[in-house]
Amino acid sequence: MQETRLPQTIQENLSPSPLMERLATLTTGYTPDLERELEVESSYFDYPVLKEPTWRWEIIWYFFFGGLAGGCYLIASLASLFGSKEDRAVARAGYYLSLLALMPCPPLLIKDLGRPERFLHMLRIFKVKSPMSMGTWGLVSFSLFSGLTAVIQAARDGILGRWWGARLLAGVPQRLIALPGTVLGIFLGGYTGVLLAATSVPLWSRSRVLGAVFVSSAISTSSALISFVLRMTGAPARTLHKLERLEWMAMLIEMAGLLTFLRGTGRAARPLVGTAPAEHGRNFWSLVFGGGLALPWLLQTASLLSGRRKNKKNNGRGIIISLLVLLGGYFLRRTIIEAGHSSSRDARTTLWNARR
Amino acid sequence: MAVEPYQRDTNGRGSLQAVISSLVGNKMPPIAQQPAMGFFTDTSLCIGCKACEVACKQWNQLPASDAIWTGSSYDNTGELSPTTWRHVQFIEHIGRREQGLNGLRDDIDAQIAQAKSSGVIPMTPAGTALPFFNTDRWLMQSDVCKHCAPAPCQEACPTGAIIRTEFDTVYVQQDICNGCGYCVVACPFGVIARDEVGDHTVHKCTLCYDRMKDGIEPACAKACPTDSIQFGEVEKLKAHARERVGILQARGVKEARLYGVDDGMLDGGLNSSFLLLDEPEVYNLPDNPTRPANNVVPASLWTMLAAMILGVFGFIFFRGD
């Protein structure tokens, strides 16, 4: 790779951040040594080995909304199956939010296609080996369950009126439908990470734990969204407390998953954690790991500890935590997709990744 | 190396059985399986004439790429693309002797001394048009779709647009492809790509499926003036490749090696294999890429583990007070 000279001001802005660089080295266990690598490794003029992904903002938003749809459904089902009477508020909000988050997903996916009018070709076959085929079927069947559950909820809440149809719908056993729906919801929250892992892009595929990260992020962002809505509409403190504990746990597992991901990906994780040009470490450390996970997790810890003593709800802090987690969940998907583009362009890391 | 002309099995056409099968959706009897066909690209014979690139574009009616001057070599094609299915690489190894790479200096000096004492100039190593005492090399390779035995693009394709033909080649049905882009990231060689200016579907080498159906060899192989591109039955080509690398090794071209001939690569080998004169990475070929589909099970298990842990905690949190 030839050194490219940048204008002074840009160079200053892009000068490596020592703290983030240290974090990058620490988490990936890899210290870049460009001179040595150039000497030892060969490639064809550093032309990319792989083709760049075609996926852009539509997919980022789909991953975010898909995670919310699946996660909200799971949490709503947990509350409805195991929760107390008070927790019905979680189930109600969760099922509505799940359908709401699901709405933009199909249009986003169709818009992303090269030939959107051929989107139905996805339903020609059922292919277990292809995560995208499974994802299509998963999304289609989940939307059936999500829609049905939300309609039953609406009938029970009296939104659909008092005619015989609404009464009939309200009588449908929602919990029975929620069981397969929850399995599909978990699938929707996690398959996207499996889809990225089953590619040749070094960043996405090397560690194979991206699905675990995505599914925990789906649950953390969903509990953030539900608790945000419940705070706005006024819900019992005990219910909120349960949600906060789940959110706290999901963030913990997400952080552990991300650290496993970074360590397992090693050198190929540079586009995600590094701070050189075309690397997305600045966004990753400040908006995803720092602002989107570590900070809200610490705030949540403090709030859970004080909440246990006083049993009061701290609405202001809770709302800030929710917003931070949601922002972090969006930027997690965004940095991973964008860094995947950079990863596919890096010829020598791609070749390194294929050496085993 | 011609193929048997393809004959469609016409038995039973027009009969009651055919009418019934057409009603239940089986419009045509399955096409009879043919021996697997593929390429063997022997880079030791390539002279970089780019006839294959031109022949491919002409036969497949592919538009010319924008004229871009790369400035790094005679390669102004750059990469395989939706409209370029053969790509000739030019790798200049100049000044290797001065750098004393891989002990070449000693070797050459010894050879010169040997030649002086015996009065016999050794044979020029195959693949070098330069005098034997010169270590400068100009490697050329005509890159193409590898038609992998288990093809990652085909395994990824969610529409069934990418199929294996009766010749065991990997083929994109353009009327089915909806341009989802999953094959693009699945391919470990960066071959298949979406045409962003044309029809927005993915394109790559078809191994001249249309020509093969009529028993003619692909356009690039036909045009290749040095037989660097060889076409035929995969098994025969692989046997020939092993023989060829043995001959080159025996003649002193120790760097000669095969790529994609043994079945280890991608769990089944490549139907379009290569003979290289240096490490694969010099040609931008990954040494031993993983098959993306192999990641599905471990990645799913990790996902399920995380979901299960969180489900259990969710149960505990909502249950207990």
The CATH code of the domain that includes A192 is 1.20.1630.10
Chain A residues whose beta carbon lies within 8 Å of the beta carbon of residue B317: 242, 245-246, 249
Contact A198 B292 (CB under 8 A): yes
User: Above 80 in pLDDT, residue A220?
Assistant: yes
Residue B319 lies in a domain: no
Q: What distance in Å separates residue B288's CA from the closest CA in chain A?
A: 5
Of residues A47, A194, A238, nearest to B321 (C-beta)? A238
Q: Spell out the residues 6+ positions from residue A104 whose beta carbon is closer than 8 angstroms to its own.
A: A61, A62, A65
What is the number of domains present in chain B?
1
Q: Which of A52, A59, A72, A118 to mutate to test the interface with B (most CBs of B within 10 A)?
A: A118
- State the total domains in chain A: 2
Residue B30 lies inside a defined structural domain of this protein: no
Residues A204 and A323 in one domain: yes
Angle at A52 between CA A49 and CA A57, to 5 degrees: 160
Q: Is there a domain that residue B226 lies in?
A: yes
Instruction: Please give the pLDDT value at position B193.
Output: 97
Considering the domain architecture, whether residues A353 and A213 belong to the same structural domain is answered as yes
* Average pLDDT of span A302-311: 73
Instruction: Over range A117-127, report the average pLDDT.
Output: 95
A30 and A77 belong to one structural domain: no
Residue A8 lies in a domain: no
In the prediction, which pLDDT does B199 show? 93
Do residue A176 and residue A313 come from a single domain? no
Cα–Cα nearest to B182, from A209, A131, A335, A48: A131
> Structure pTM?
0.89
Answer yes or no: do B189 and A114 touch at CB < 8 A: no
Q: Are residues A352 and A241 in the same domain?
A: yes
In whole angstroms, give the CA distance from residue B229 to residue B243: 16
- Rounded average pLDDT over A140-162: 94
Same-domain pairing of A141 and A239:
no
A6 lies in some domain: no
- Residue A10 sits at φ, ψ, to 5 deg, of -65, -40
Between chains, do A350 and B176 touch, taking CB under 8 Å as contact?
A: no
Residues A85 and A211 in one domain: no
CB pairs under 8 A between A and B: 236
How far apart are the CA of A132 and the nearest CA of chain B, in angstroms?
Answer: 6
Tell me the average pLDDT across A261-276: 95
Q: Which residue of A has its CA nearest to B90?
A: A44
Q: What's the number of CA atoms in the CB half-sphere (13 Å) around residue B62? A: 25
- How far does A104 lie from chain B, in Å, by closest CA? 18
pLDDT, residue A338, reads: 97
Best interface-test mutation with B: which of A2, A46, A50 has the largest number of B CBs within 10 A?
A: A50
**Contact call for B190 and A48, based on CB within 8 A:** yes
Domain-embedded: residue A186: yes
Say whether both A22 and A97 belong to one domain.
Answer: no
Single residue among A181, A198, A215 that ends a domain in this structure: A198
Give B131: exposed, middle or buried? Use CB within 10 Å, 0-12, 13-18, 19+: exposed
User: What residues form DSSP beta bridges with B61?
Assistant: none
**Residue A272 domain boundaries:** 14-34+44-52+200-356
A118 contacts B158? CB cut-off 8 A: no
Are residues A226 and A304 located together in one domain of the fold? yes
Cα(A71)–Cα(A62) distance, integer angstroms: 14
What are A177-214's pLDDT values in tens digits? Answer: 999 999 999 999 999 999 999 999 999 999 999 999 99
ipTM for the whole complex: 0.92
Q: Smallest Cβ distance to B300: which of A41, A194, A216?
A: A194
- Which of B155, B179, B315 has its CB closest to that of A130? B155
A352 falls within a domain:
yes
Of A176, A198, A220, the residue at which a domain comes to its end is A198
pLDDT for res B184: 97
A122 in the same domain as A95: yes
For residue A1, being part of any structural domain is answered with no
pLDDT, residue B1, reads: 46
Q: Can you give the CATH number for the domain in which B272 is found?
A: 3.30.70.20
What's residue B118's pLDDT?
A: 85
Q: Which of A130, A133, A255 to mutate to test the interface with B (most CBs of B within 10 A)?
A: A130
Asked whether residue A107 falls in the same domain as residue A138, the answer is yes
Last residue of a domain, one of A153, A171, A198: A198
Residue A14 pLDDT more than 60? no
Going through chain B in order, the beta strands assigned E by DSSP cover 37-42, 86-93, 137-144, 162-164, 170-172, 193-194, 202-203, 229-233, 257-259, 272-276
Length of chain A measured in residues: 356
Contact A356 B290 (CB under 8 A): yes
Joined together, the tokens standing for residue B295 give: 């990641």
8 Å CB contact of A44 and B189: no
Residues of chain B with pLDDT under 50: 1-2, 5-12, 100-103, 129-131
Asked if residue A178 and residue A100 are part of one domain, the reply reads yes
Residue A9 lies in a domain: no
Range of the domain at B84: 37-94+136-152+205-293
Q: How far is A8 from chain B (nearest CA, A)?
A: 27
Structural domain includes residue B222:
yes
* Residue A190 forms part of a structural domain: yes
Write down the pLDDT at residue B68. Answer: 85
